[in-house]
Amino acid sequence: MKVQPLIYTLETMSKVDVAYIIDDDPIFIFGAKRMMEISNFCNSFKVFKNGHEAITKLKTENLKEIDIPEIILLDINMPVMDGWEFLEEFSKLIFNKKITIYIVSSSIDPIDIKRAKRYENVSNYLVKPISVDALKNILKDI
């Protein structure tokens, strides 16, 4: 059996059309965008500094039925509307396509990890920083 190199695997995987990064940390945002570019993770991504900005955009995009993300990378500790509040609002919305959320946080608190599992749309809880391998695993999951 021939083992395929990592680059071949990443190039042959399907990629996400639109991804959202919801996080207020500019260093994480820079790193996540860079990892997405390196791994050819998505065609485009949008960045939001808090849950309120993202939920407002999602409602607008959903009405127009355009640029709905397939994947959301969500921080839980943000100003204005944190990740938990975002998830509460998100769960009230109905979309014509599946949106999968990955919580990406610096918190390793077991309470946060357990709480994340309560949300149907949350696929996994990832601890920052995000890596090419983590993005590769997300692509495998979808």
**pLDDT tens string 78-126:** 999 999 999 999 999 998 889 999 999 999 999 999 999 999 999 999 9
Q: Which position has the token pair 């395929």?
A: 4
| pLDDT value, residue 99 | 93
Q: How far is CA 91 from the centre of its chain?
A: 15
pTM score: 0.87
Strand partners, 19: 45, 71
- Distance, in Å, from the CA atom of 10 to the CA atom of 139, rounded to the nearest integer, reads 9
Q: How far is CA 43 from the centre of its chain?
A: 14
Q: How confident is the model at residue 141 (pLDDT cuts 50, 70, 90)?
A: confident
pLDDT digits (tens, 9 = 90+) for 31-46: 999 999 999 999 999 9
The per-residue pLDDT of the chain, averaged, comes to: 88
At the top level of CATH, the class of 6-141 is alpha beta
